[in-house]
Amino acid sequence: MTIVVRVDAQLHSALVDADRRKTLEQTTRWDPGEAESRLFSAWLEGGYFHPPAEGTAAENYSIAIPPPNVTGELHMGHALNGAIQDALIRINRMRGRNTLWVLGTDHAGIATQAVVERELRKQGTSRHKLGRNAFVERVWEWRQKYGSRIVEQYQRLGASCDYERERFTLDDGYHRAVIEVFVALHEKGLIYRDNYMVNWDPGSRSAISELEVESREVTDVLYEIDYPVEGSDEVITVATVRPETMLADTAVAVSPDDDRHRRLVGRHCILPLVGRRLEIIADPHVDPEFGSGALKVTPGHAIEDFEIGRRHGLEEVTVIGEDGRMNAAAGERFDGLTVDEAREAVVAALREEGRIRGEQKLTHAVPYSHRSGERIEPLISLQWFCRMDELAAPAIDVVERDEVRIVPDNYKRVYLEWMRNIRPWCISRQLWWGHRLPVWYCDACEETYVTAEPPERCGACDGPLRQDPDVLDTWFSSALWPFATLGWPDRDAPLLSAFYPTDVLLTARDILFLWVARMVMMGIEFVGEIPFDDVYVHSVIQAPDGRRMSKSLGTGIDPLEEVERYGADALRFGLLAMSSTQDVRYSSAKVQQGRDLANKVWNASRLVLLNVGEVEPAPSPARVEDRWILSRLQRAIEAVGGGIDRYDFAHAALDLYSFFWSELCDWYLEIVKPRLYDGEREAAATLLWVLEQTLALAHPLIPFVTEEVYDYLRDAAPGDRPEMLVVHPYPEVDETLIDPEAEAEIERSIELTRSLRRWRDLVGVPPRSLLPVRIVAAEPPHELVSRLARLDLDGSSDETLATIGPVEIVGSAEVDPDQARRRIAERREALHAEVARAEGKLSNEGFVAKAPQDVVDAEREKLDRYRAELEELG
RNA sequence: GGGCGCGUAGCUCAGUGGGAGAGCGCUCGCUUCACACGCGAGAGGUCGCUGGUUCGAAACCAGCCGCGCCCACCA
């Protein structure tokens, strides 16, 4: 029996500062609240997050953060995205690479303008009352006041961004980049102005791009309307869910393959209410199976109809204005009505004329504005577009060749599919907040200037110039993010040569096209190099019930409240542990697991630091258990560090947890405690070494608690080491410390201990009492077995109750013989089943002949073992 | 309509060709001097269904059922 001799720890530890020792002794719970802000400030002051602009991009490591909206609040998606990036940034910084995490925010045109406009409304004013300059001024003020809140929120997470180089997609340098790109693409002929069908968002009163449109399932009434055919009693019936648009009809189309209508092609019908003559045309777009097989063509108000119209040279009539109301072209009866009012009025009018043949419900996909949530109104308008095919070609190449590697690779196909079918991008927005187009018009002679620096007056007629009022789509500037933040358009910018291309881009899948694809195109076009080597597409975090996390649904969970409750380490750990490439439901259980781990790290470290003497941490494998833990540590280094490198964060986090908790705490600490209390130097050296390595290993995932403990470890252990863990070398696998024999031996001892504990528990031996046993093997089991299973090796009774491996349990007063017999019977039954299973397998000729030799051997070994144990049990 | 993904313990999820795993929850027992955010032990699963491939399938293939997402111009 081992007797634990407890020497007063104070004599041993090198932790000399009495106050700090006291803190360590008395703080039995890790309290993140105070420590996190203090540690974060220390990192900032140490300048660890602010790398010099030195070296090459190949040597250095960099990530550009997906810039959150200035209006934004940190949500779970940001928190996961940030936890992942910080893990990568920290592991690479610890590996000694010059590491930059570019931070910044996005001006988010529509969203920000909407927020400030809402505020103005509350104050009883509006942007129109203020005027453009004053309004833009107000938005800047707003941004100054509230805009950087999200940056502070990233700090709460522990994100090690370079806060001294924060950028904004509307700052001066960035603006220069945007203007240069616009002018260059215009000169190349890729940017042009055109009258074209756009997705008009009545909510923001602006055109938006197709990617900002989301479709929703809506049930509408499908009206069937009779249009009389000119010069006959016949009618041709068309179907529509938007009867009000009939006022802008300029043709009726049928399928060229439709026998029913063929004879009408080329004739005309009369548009009810309006009286316009509409030609009946044949167009392959029309599905003869749908409705009556005839389609009313409204080139002014439907995308498909617009295309049919262009094919046939139809007139384009516009009856709905940009304000979402009917205009004069709709006729006196309808002018000024909202679209909904007009629909009712038109239906009523048609009904009166007996033109409505039928109505039925129709559920179909309808476009809505992603931002304002209003139904999209397709309108023809004069906008600026960017032709994408030419830019897309090289961006397709680099992904096909895996120069830009998209992980997981099923998104590679999605990306390529989209890029190969890319359409022109409508880049102008009718907003005030954003990059104003570098375009000037001369109203006198219709001259247009596209340039960064316009002349004072028109060069042709000396007339005054007027700048285009529109601003650019927010994503136009976001597309330049990886290089515009590094100093471009200054080609010699030191940051650019040190950190471009960046190493990886982390994102959820929702902005793959909106943002990622466009960065690839712009990076190649303007810097001549891809913007990042890897794109890792991570989870979307859903609410615990599987719905979207959203404020308006009331399903959102505030990451900062979780930080408040459990600590930043806990939230980071939890998010990483639940992350994958799939959508995952948020689980606060995982966050609690993270909190528990942080607490465990703190307490296990207290045990070590308060009980080691003044020894230098070093692997000193005096005994098999030391060789075991050192070997297991190497496996953990592979699993955790390798996991982060492979973007497999969930396994990295959970493998760290199980190494730390199960192997280091549950077993190794329990095994070495007596040696530690005895003041054995080898044990202390190994323990300190393992602790230091493990702190470093865990730091990218749970930076705060590890940094705090490291600070105590620096005090306690002699030797030169970095001031802070944030720049401590990251552990690398040391092959010479991998020791399969030691692993197997301790593994056996652990199994044996478990068997004996199980026996004790099921047979009713009280936890406190020792179990009398005899050792029946030549080699006695490891000391840990008798101590941790609480055995009395001097068992003297003659009666043997059971044999468990090399241990024979002998009779004693505390063992209930009935329970013991039942246990043995159960065990025997289990063994019989195992033997039968193994025998069955081995008597299968196919198995023996075709299965790999080592599988067959392993099966034989198992069978032997089961038979032997069965024999022991009698 | 096209594409992608998911269905494994009560819950959230790992596991992708050789005896079903984790965390939480649950049951029993422990104030064992690092930690009750703890320690020890335990119960709980025809791995959605049906076929197929294989000596062997939770995993590979096909079909079906259920759920989710993305893309798409049937009004």
Question: pLDDT (tens digit, 9 = 90+) per residue, A788-802?
Answer: 999 988 877 778 888
A370 touches strand B (CB under 7 A): no
Distance CA A568, CA A683 (A): 33
Q: A28: Cβ under 7 Å from strand B? A: yes
Q: Find out whether A764 and A807 touch, Cβ atoms under 8 Å.
A: no
Peptide bond into A243 cis (omega under 30): no
Q: Is A370 left (phi over 0), alpha (psi -120 to 50) or beta?
A: alpha
d(CA A678, CA A667): 18
Give me the helix-helix angle, A588-609 and A670-677, nearest 10°: 20
Lookup: nucleotide whose C1' is closest to A410 CA: B4
Angle in degrees, 0-180, between the axes of helices A76-94 and A624-645, rounded to the nearest 10: 120
Question: Which whole number is the average pLDDT over A502-519?
Answer: 93
In angstroms, the CA of A28 and the C1' of B36 are apart by: 12
Q: Are A116 and A76 in contact (CB under 8 A)?
A: no
Looking at residue A71, what is its pLDDT?
Answer: 84
Residue A9's pLDDT is: 39
For residue A3, what pLDDT is reported? Answer: 36
Higher pLDDT residue, A520 or A854?
A520
Q: What is residue A15's predicted lDDT score, i.e. its pLDDT?
A: 62
In the structure, how far is the CA atom of residue A343 from the C1' atom of nucleotide B1, in angstroms? 29
Q: What is the pLDDT of residue A733?
A: 96
Distances (CA, A) of A689 to A16, A803, A869: 20, 39, 40
Residue A620: both structure tokens together = 């000193």
Rg of chain A (C-alpha set): 37
Among A611, A665, A679, A667, CA closest to A784: A667
Q: In this structure, is the CB of residue A595 within 7 Å of any atom belonging to strand B?
A: yes
Average pLDDT over residues A755-760: 91
Nucleic strand B contacts from chain A, 837-866, CB < 7 Å? 837-838, 844, 846-847, 850-852, 855, 862, 866
The token duo for A757 is 């504990």
Q: How far apart are CA A841 and CA A863, in angstroms?
A: 10
Per residue in A586-598, pLDDT (tens digit) is: 999 999 999 999 9
In contact, A20 and A27? CB cutoff 8 Å: no
Q: Residue A757, CB, less than 7 Å from strand B? A: yes
The label of the residue with tokens 């749970």 reads A702
Q: In the structure, how far is the CA atom of residue A558 from the C1' atom of nucleotide B43, in angstroms?
A: 36
- The tens digit of pLDDT for each residue in A437-468 reads 999 999 888 889 999 998 888 888 888 999 99
> Which DSSP letter does residue A532 get?
E
CA-to-C1' span, A541 to B39 (A): 34
User: How confident is the prediction for chain A on average, in pLDDT?
Assistant: 90
Judge if the beta carbon of A582 is closer than 7 A to nucleic acid strand B.
yes
Highest mean pLDDT among A118-132, A155-169, A795-809 belongs to A155-169
In the block, residue with structure tokens 């197709």:
A210
pLDDT of residue A874: 65
What's the Å distance between residue A546 CA and nucleotide B68 C1'?
Answer: 9
Q: From the Cβ of A285, is strand B under 7 Å away? A: yes
Taking the C-alpha atoms of residue A476 and residue A185, their distance in angstroms, rounded to an integer, is 12
pLDDT above 50 (res A6): no
A733 touches strand B (CB under 7 A): no
- Is 90 exceeded by the pLDDT of residue A159? yes
User: A435, A179 in Cβ contact below 8 A?
Assistant: yes
Confidence at residue A533, expressed as pLDDT on a 0 to 100 scale: 96
By C-alpha to C1' distance, B25 is nearest to A589
Helix, strand, or coil here: A733?
Answer: coil
Does residue A761 approach strand B to less than 7 Å at its CB?
yes
Distance of CA A66 to CAs A169, A481, A603, A863, Å?
12, 9, 37, 57
DSSP string, A187-249: HTT-EEEEEEEEEEETTTTEEE-GGGEEEEEEEEEEEEEEEEBTTSS-EEEEEES-GGGGGG-
Question: What's the predicted TM-score (pTM) here?
Answer: 0.92
A256 CB neighbours strand B below 7 A: no
Mean pLDDT within A57-70: 95
> Is pLDDT of A104 > 90?
yes
What is the per-residue DSSP string for A265-317? TT-EEE-TTT--EEEEEE-TTS-TTSTTSEEEE-TTT-HHHHHHHHHHT----
Assign residue A614 a region (left: φ > 0; alpha: ψ between -120 and 50; beta: otherwise): beta
pLDDT (tens digit per residue) in A168-225: 999 999 999 999 999 999 999 999 999 899 999 988 888 888 888 888 888 888 999 9
Distances (CA, A) of A224 to A116, A275, A276, A284, A377: 44, 18, 19, 21, 22
Q: Burial code of A224-262, b = ≥16 C-beta within 10 A, e = fewer?
A: bbbbebeeeeebbbbbbbbbbbbbbbbbbbbbeebeebe
Amino acid A647 CA to nucleotide B52 C1' distance, rounded Å: 36
CA–CA separation, A282 and A284 (whole Å): 7
Average pLDDT (A275-290) is 88
Distance from residue A765's CA to nucleotide B22's C1', rounded to whole Å:
29
Covered bases, chain B (protein CB within 7 Å): 3-6, 11-14, 18-19, 22-24, 28-30, 32-42, 54-56, 68-75
The answer, yes or no, to whether residue A601 has pLDDT greater than 90, is: yes
Mean pLDDT value of segment A32-46 = 95
The gap between A298 CA and B36 C1' (Å) is: 72
From the number of C-beta atoms within 10 Å of its C-beta (0-12, 13-18, 19+), residue A45 rates as exposed
Nearest nucleotide (CA of A307 to C1'): B73
Give the model's pLDDT for residue A16: 61
CB A321 within 8 A of CB A200: no
Q: Classify each residue of A732-752 as buried b or exposed e, where b means 16 or more C-beta atoms within 10 Å of its C-beta.
A: eeeeebbbeebbebbeebbeb
Helix H, strand E, coil C: the string for A360-393 is EEEEEEEEEECCCCCECEEEEEEEEEECCHHHHH
Q: A94-108, A133-147, A684-698, A831-845: lowest mean pLDDT where?
A: A831-845
Å separating the CA of residue A857 from the C1' of nucleotide B56: 15
Q: Which range, of A209-213, A567-571, A678-682, averages the lowest pLDDT?
A: A209-213
Q: How confident is the model at residue A444, as a pLDDT?
A: 87
Q: How far is CA A513 from CA A72, A143, A212, A695, in A?
A: 21, 27, 11, 39
Q: Which of A320, A322, A345, A343 is nearest to A330 (CA)?
A: A320
Q: Any idea how long chain A is?
A: 874
- Whether residue A455 is preceded by a cis peptide bond, meaning omega within 30 degrees of 0, is no
Q: What pLDDT score was predicted for residue A456?
A: 87
What does each C-alpha distance from A798 to A774, A801, A811, A812 come to in angstroms?
Answer: 10, 10, 7, 10
Mean pLDDT along residues A506-525: 93
* pLDDT higher than 50, residue A10: no
Alpha helices in A794-852 (DSSP H): 817-842, 845-850
Q: Is a pLDDT exceeding 50 seen at residue A2? A: no
Q: Quote the ipTM score.
A: 0.96
What pLDDT sits at residue A362? 84
| pLDDT value at residue A869 | 82
A206 CA, B20 C1': Å apart: 57
Of A763 and A643, which is predicted with more confidence? A643
**Distance measured from the CA of protein residue A836 to the C1' of nucleotide B20, in angstroms:** 19
Residues paired with A810 in a beta bridge: A800
Residues in CB range of A73: below 8 A, 6 or more apart: A149, A150, A153, A558
The mean pLDDT of A41-51, rounded to a whole number, is 96
